[in-house]
Structure 1
């Protein structure tokens, strides 16, 4: 062996030994930190206050097929590397992180393999409406304002890539069903038809710039934003509107079922895995739904009798949907009712949850551009949005359940706690898993009974209606996407089992049709949390403390249901010890 080859051989042995010396924890942490940093470069956060002034946040994400192909290759490589890490050798903390991280990457990769990006909207959520949410964060400084304007200039390029993807989806029959597209163009038109740049929603952040920016610079920033909106944003929305009306709607598929699309059966199963974190078949979920519907129906019948109503169930639903006593007369009245319920929760929350967040949430009406087709409310760590559109479809008897779900102790409280918890990797603290988050929020509606938030049989019926709504979703989602239900079948099923207004029934069914799998996460997540609480109560007996149990659930942040179950079982064992 030549001297230089001996040197190379020895160097190779040394590197091999060094790699072997690295612990499983070190390898895993290096991998996810590198991937997270790459992920931030790939996806500019147009609704991320922490990144407003970041140089890499001066453009919107690339969504073209070539970029998507590179992302898939990257995530496939991450999965390959994860496969070489001995999970059993990880620390207890990193075993949990690993169990959260791997499915996250698997779902990202699967979405790209199925080319989900060719259908970048549904009847509830759209990329063009999501873009509007960046107008609701104040601009903290001049750099943030310049980044914001740069992204406004980038809207045409971003929209053109999305349109090209949607054309490819249409060509292969991968699209939102035609049946749910009527009227959805209003959410584009509201942006495309602004009379002046200053009238546009995108100009709003420029109206209240911080005083730390000199007045002359504020004027330059406003002028630059007006130019970007007038030259780029409004024309881009107008072009998208034309494409939507003239091309997408006429060519959208006439079928409803996800399984009717090319590769649809496999795609629907992946949607189920992604949103529920469980490996259940559509038929299994359908049967779970039917059993839950039967159970909740008996409770609703009993509550109807408590109200003293004389008549059958159908007549009672009609009474609830039409009697003026159950409806606010103004948007402000609806918002004030929501605020009053929220303050009742504030007075009692400390009795049920030990660790409370420092963060607070506000209550705002749903923006007009999306309100006609949005749900009754939506919650985040910072905001509880209440839909004040079409007040005769927003009954007050549902409002306690809605508020518990969307604000505290539901999404706003859970989201704020997740934001404030230290020690978790970013891929956990900045991620949302639907089965956990929606399961917790639905559980909170039931917790409201113990908290004393429901004051009348009508409000209790509203809670049961909301639980029935989530149970019926299991039946409807699988009914449409696996059993070929029609839209009318789904509407009739939801309308006959709940006191939801006709408007809500139709918008919700359209949501399930155009967003397969997402609606399954609520009830399946809640079932698991209720099951785990019952298990803890039974095994711990007098040692069971409800506040401590809730803290144990919330301390995890957002995790797949199998991880939640594993961690609560460990908590039960610790409590016994």
Structure 2
């Protein structure tokens, strides 16, 4: 029954992706009863969803601090599955052809979102709440690092901290259920990952933990007596709730979970594994492609990129083959920062350089700025090289000999502007859009960010052939993910095979290769979204350039893509078809 149901869900997603090619056409119906029917469904579900205290990261809207941690027990999860199944039945009863153009897009985005929720619940993904670089306990620290300015925020945060024992216990119960059926991350990806737990358990005082951070620099306008009261309460709740919960978690991880974790790497080795992996492909790529098709696409694209890389080697007159050039790039001191500050400043320089070029490539600019900060010490050893989002660009300054300066322009474009810290705020600033549209669709978001790395060459962001090679290495890194992810999860590849493939085809450091491969092993399918998303955007742009000729305006194209926000790739492609039909005009009439 489970396999049959999930195959049906995956099939529904695939049909949705394919039918989305007809989305957002000028011939769509005018607002009518079907629009009202759909709005009623997603409005009611969203109100219910926001009351559910679900996992962090779903609805990143900066709307205050919760007084409790997520509700994740099995009974609650089962209720969610039943609820979303009911929502899907309602959506199946709405005729897409009768929806207006805006609501047709909403329907397609929303239906794929609900289908992904159902699949995740059906496969009980909540029983595996961690991967190689993130986990439920490290996600907790995000609130601790948020700025607080009001008494109610501090008091809500204190209540949240007091909920830690209940939350951790529920997670442990879920993880034990996953252990019992072999649904865990591979053991190799868990080695050393308890460092973010011991950073709390080994703290000498509550004030030395990350959870006390908001109380160290409190608003000057707040009365001193109130500050001292809140600080005392924080020290107490950390000592009596937070630290003991982490101690229990550490004992569980070391004595039960890691020893029982599976040895196999492939997602297809999990319960109902082939169907599970295909569901992740659908979720992360929004396409109907199979693992074999994606693997072959990766091999073809890698060959193209390697040709470009060889051209750069000729430009710099390097005497030697590709392996020798990669060794040179990985080891020559000229390519590496001497201090964390140097790496941060180089990132800031690239971001500022983009500011001087932005008006030639974008009409609409987001109001929200972003900060450049280092990845926290407790997460850095196993974290990616960088990560960006609304208001922040995280730069990993751990192990400087693994952070090549020639890669910083591409990384910065991807994670800050015009990548994630640029794209996400624009989507959130759009008016009249239902809040579920702020959910992140990896194929779109990561595809856009990778596209901006290529765009950097057009913008003149790469000042040396080595920086161009850094961009190409990053392109190869993402194309190789198509090969490596499917190799690991569908073709029986070993960890070493995956590491060797990245080592032979990119300039990534050994440290980065190890952390990245472990991430792909523990997070099936996510790595597929980047390059397939970029390919979709490049295909749409080429089509628009050929169709519009001299009428093509790169600013209007970019504004159209970004205004749409995260959508399945077929919806994006259909929107560009509409852009072409309308003569390539800006989606913001006031900017023309």
TM-score range relative to shorter protein = over 0.9
Residues 1:561 and 2:573 aligned together = no
Contact (CA 8 Å) 1:287, 1:475: kept in 2 or not?
yes
Q: Quick check: 1:46–1:134 contact (8 Å CA) kept in 2? A: no
Distance change in 2, residues 1:548/1:22 (3 Å): closer
**What is residue 590 of structure 2 aligned with on the other side?**
none
1:492 to 2:500 alignment: yes
CA contact (8 A) 2:54 2:71 kept: no
Give the TM-score, by structure 1 length: 0.94
Q: 1:253 to 1:86 in 2, by over 3 A?
A: same
Counterpart in 1 of 2:52? 42
Helix, strand or coil: the match of 1:528? helix
1:447 to 445, 455, 460: 455
Partner of 2:344: 335
Structure 2: which 5+ residue stretches go unaligned?
Answer: 1-30, 586-592
Partner of 2:8: none
Structure 1 566/195 Cα, relative in aligned 2: closer, same or farther at 3 Å? same
1:291-323 CA-to-partner distances (Å, cap 9, x unmatched) read 001110111111111111111111111011011
| From 8, 26, 30, the counterpart of 2:36 | 26
**2:238 matched to 1:226?**
no
Shift of 1:156: 0.8
Secondary structure of the corresponding residue to residue 51 of structure 1:
coil
1:435 paired with 2:447, answer no
For residue 187 of structure 1, report the CA deviation from its aligned partner: 1.6
Aligned counterparts of 1:102 and 1:380: Cα–Cα separation in 2? 25
Within 5 A, what are the aligned runs for 1:340-355?
340-355=349-364
For residues 45 and 74 of structure 1, the distance between their equivalents in structure 2, rounded to whole angstroms, comes to: 17
- Residue 527 of structure 1, aligned match among 503, 527, 535: 535
1:64-143 equivalent positions in 2, closer than 5 A: 64-143=73-152
Say which of 245, 248, 251 aligns to 1:242: 251
TM-score for the superposition, normalised by structure 2 = 0.92
RMSD: 1.4
Give the greater-gyration-radius structure (CA).
1
Equivalent pair of 2:54/2:72 in contact (CA under 8 Å) = no
Q: Given that residues 400 and 454 in structure 1 are in contact (C-alpha distance below 8 angstroms), is that contact kept between their aligned partners in structure 2?
A: yes
Q: 1:303 aligns with which of 279, 296, 312?
A: 312
Residue 139 (structure 1) shift = 1.7
Displacement of 1:192 in angstroms is 2.0
Q: Distance in 2 between matches of 1:36 and 1:502?
A: 44
Pairing 1:517–2:525 present: yes
Q: Distance in 2 between matches of 1:212 and 1:106?
A: 48
- Give matches, 1:96-495, under 5 Å: 96-428=105-437, 430-495=438-503
State the distance in 2 between where 1:219 and 1:108 align: 44
Q: Secondary structure at the match of 1:555?
A: helix
Whether the 8 Å CA contact 2:447–2:535 is kept in 1: the answer is yes
> What CA distance in whole angstroms lies between the structure 1 residues aligned with 2:267 and 2:191?
19
Once the two structures are overlaid, the 10-residue window that deviates more, 288-297 or 179-188, is 179-188
Of 138-147 and 521-530, the range deviating more from structure 2: 138-147
Deviation at 1:469, TM superposition (A): 0.1
SS of equivalent residue, structure 1 residue 412:
helix
For residues 310 and 360 of structure 1, the distance between their equivalents in structure 2, rounded to whole angstroms, comes to 44
**Does the 8 A contact of 1:398 with 1:463 survive in 2?**
yes
Superposition deviation, residue 213 in structure 1:
3.2
Name the counterpart of 1:572.
580
Distance 1:230 1:455 in 2: 52
Query: Deviation string for 1:402-443 (max 9, x for gaps)?
Result: 001000010111012112121110000x21110000000000
Partner-residue secondary structure (3-state), 1:384 = strand
Q: CA deviation at 1:22?
A: 8.1
- After TM superposition, give the deviation of residue 45 of structure 1 in Å: 7.6
* Distance 1:50-1:459 versus aligned 2 partners, 3 A rule: closer
- Give the length in aligned residue pairs: 553
Runs of 4+ in 1 over 3 A off after TM superposition: 44-51
Gaps of 5+ in 1: 1-20
Q: Which residue of 2 aligns with 1:5?
A: none
Is the Cα contact below 8 Å between 2:32 and 2:99 reproduced in 1? no
Contact kept, 8 Å, 1:45 with 1:51, in 2: the verdict is no
